[in-house]
A and B are shown apart, each in its own frame.
Chain A
Amino acid sequence: MDDTTRDELLRLFESKLKRAAKLYLETCSRCGVCVSACHVYASMPQAKYIAAYRAEIVRRIYKRYFTKKGRFWKSLGESKELSELALSELYEAAYSCTGCRRCMVFCPFGIDTQLIMSIAKLLLIGAHAEPEILSLLADTSVAKGESLEIFREGFLESIKTLENEVVERWRVEAGQTPIPVDQKGADLLYVALAGAHSIVPAAVVFNAAKENWTLSFFEAVNFGAFVGDPVKTRQILDRIVNEARRLGVKEVVICECGTAFRVMKSMAKNEPFKVSSITEVHARYIREGRIKLRKNTLEGTVTYHDPCQLARNGGVMDEPRFILRALTDDFAEMSPDPVMNWCCGGGGGLVAMGEDTLDFRMKSASVKADQVKKTGAKILATACENCHTQLSNLNDHYQMGVDVRFLSSMVADALE
């Protein structure tokens, strides 16, 4: 690696050295309590998959360039040069971590390995060594925000084709649009993913609850966050924030996408609208009696996988259970404590990277498959697109024999 590239990468590193990052990099005592936290290590017990080991790969570079001790007495903390080899180690650390932050619950100091991995991801972007597909997807999202007019007509046409499906499942009143788009004065802006499965059931439930809602032009998923690019993360988010401001909505509701919900919830704190997940909204409708569900129509035991970004990192833990208890009396928890639930192994951009990561995703999540099998459930519900894809892959690979379902679809199917 030439000096110019290294200097450029170190400038990127420095840009990430804000207070929390510094505290996390300075505080680890390498006590090893996090050893049993990571699903990757639990499934494939190799030191490189221990949370503290991953963080140490970034920390060693930090010590070498940002601490005097590491500069003058390298062996003391095994500080390390930023080299091509270091980049490949950073890649392996960052893209074998799903950012589930289970290790943060184990750590006596609460060190956030995901935040440290975000430094690794930014360095990889700087070195043009990040997974190309994630950057491409992020660029496409940004481009859509910059030139909405080009996408507008095509989007509206494709939504029209979905409206019949909505009407078939829930009657609409005269003059009501089954899937309203770009409605000023709507109370609620729903941000979906590309695909009917994310739009139709949600629309059905909104209409059943007589919600004054409108659908966003943009997809919720934030590929900028997956690839660890703070600029693109903000640009992708701002498309939705600006749309919500323009329409003057009171609430932005994020579809079943854990990362999109966490990013919106944490980065749009000071906006004039509330941020909710679709799961929270459905639970609210049931509580307020705005929708009624048919109970016990599901066959077999139902269990629920907590998407990490929605539960541990987003605070949505009680609502999915409330919904499931309204749907069935045969519900089995897979973990005694939702905070400690195992990650499905698909987060951090791994699912978005598709077939390239499939083998690793399957091997690294055997603990999840075992956990699901132990419940004896026939239906595995979840509320995140990434988790759904990964759990479906696990279902095939480990022959778990479950039906992997989106919680929002289950609600829509059970409407009275």
Chain B
Amino acid sequence: MDKISYIILVPMVYAAFAVLVLGVSARLVAILRTPRELQTPIYPASGAPYLRALYDSFLMPQVRRHAPVLWVFLMAFHACLLLLLIGHLELVAQMPWEKAFPHQIFLGKGFVGLILAVSLLFFLFRRFSSPVRDLSVPEDYYLLILLFLTVIFGAEMDWARNWYGYGEMGVDQYRQYLTSLVTFHPALPYEVTSAGHRFMLVLHVFFANLFLMVLPFSKIMHAFLALPVNKLRRG
């Protein structure tokens, strides 16, 4: 069991990041190397197409107008995703902004994970009913389930600390583990291998690894493509 945990927590993490970086780079290069074709924007054309594309990509005004409930969940999901990304970065090393804005690592007191999990369930259940069901392909369901599993095990660790006072495995241990990975001297702190809820960490990292590995080959590439594709519409 320890061996499997080690494989997931160390070599698989490296493999996942390698696939992510190489995969995303290869996909972006492949797209950017293709010649441009003539493309008509939607009028009235924007005077500042890049700014308009940024607005479209980050605030999704089209969704707000035509599917307001979906928009609330999408905005909540993506905003929480950003907070989690910052949280994970802060686990790797002390970030310069930590001193300017002193805060507890992983903002939101556990609610960020909860919002993410609920949003993912909303996206999933939405796909069970027509007409979105008619548009969906298996990939759409697999990705949502994979994300949900990643989030739920990650959030549980947060909830254990925040809501149930479980202090055995905390920020210091996570930071020790992640710093060791980043400096290429992988080491698993004692708490990480022995804590009662270590399976949560192992499963969280396992599903996250899987997610990172499929990301370059999935529609999650919209994280990188939303801006250039929106720019086409704005001229």
Contacts and interface: CB of A to CB of B under 8 A. Distances in A.
Interface stretch (B91-99, B198-206, B223-231): B223-231
A167 B140 CA distance: 66
A163 interface: no
17 contacts: A19-B31, A19-B36, A20-B36, A20-B232, A21-B37, A23-B229, A26-B31, A33-B63, A47-B131, A50-B131, A68-B217, A77-B139, A104-B42, A108-B60, A109-B229, A314-B43, A315-B45
A370 B105 CA distance: 56
A106 interface: yes
Contacts of A31: 63, 67, 70, 132
Given A109-B226, A262-B40, A266-B40, A19 B34 contact: yes
B34 A69 contact: no
A105 B41 CA distance: 10
Interface of B: 27, 30-32, 34-40, 42-45, 56, 60, 62-63, 66-67, 70, 126, 130-132, 134-140, 142, 217-219, 221-222, 225-226, 228-230, 232-234
Nearest to A75: B138
Given A32-B131, A111-B229, A317 B34 contact: no
Nearest to B32: A19
Given A19-B32, A110-B56, A53 B40 contact: no
Contact of A32 (B32, B135, B218, B230): B135
A106 B66 contact: yes
B221 A104 contact: no
Interface string A301-314: 00000000001111
B222 A266 contact: no
B60 A112 contact: no
B215 to A, nearest CB: 12
Given A33-B63, A47-B134, A315-B44, A20 B37 contact: yes
A106 B34 contact: no
Interface in A110-139: 110-112, 115
A47 B233 CA distance: 25
Contacts of B31: 19, 22-23, 26
Contacts of A104: 42, 233
Given A108-B56, A109-B230, A312-B42, A77 B66 contact: no
A101 B38 CA distance: 16
A152 interface: no
A76 B56 contact: no
Contact of B229 (A24, A45, A106): A24
Contact of A47 (B56, B70, B135, B225): B135
Contacts of B44: 315, 317, 339
A56 B230 CA distance: 19
A121 to B, nearest CB: 15
Contacts of B226: 27, 108-109
Q: Which of A17, A21, A35 has the largest count of B CB atoms less than 10 A from its CB?
A: A35
Given A22-B31, A33-B63, A339-B43, A76 B135 contact: no
Interface of A: 17-24, 26-33, 35-37, 45, 47, 50, 52-53, 56, 67-69, 75-78, 101, 104-112, 115, 262, 266-267, 311-315, 317, 339
Contacts of A23: 31, 225, 228-229, 232
Contacts of A27: 219, 221-222, 225-226, 229
Contact of B137 (A24, A77, A112): A77
A315 to B, nearest CB: 4
Contacts of B230: 109-110
Contacts of B35: 18-19
Q: Which of B60, B136, B232 has the largest count of A CB atoms less than 10 A from its CB?
A: B232
A105 B52 CA distance: 13
Q: Which of A20, A45, A52 has the largest count of B CB atoms less than 10 A from its CB?
A: A20
A171 to B, nearest CB: 38
Contacts of A313: 40, 42-43
A311 B31 CA distance: 30
A311 B126 CA distance: 34
Contacts of A76: 137-139, 142
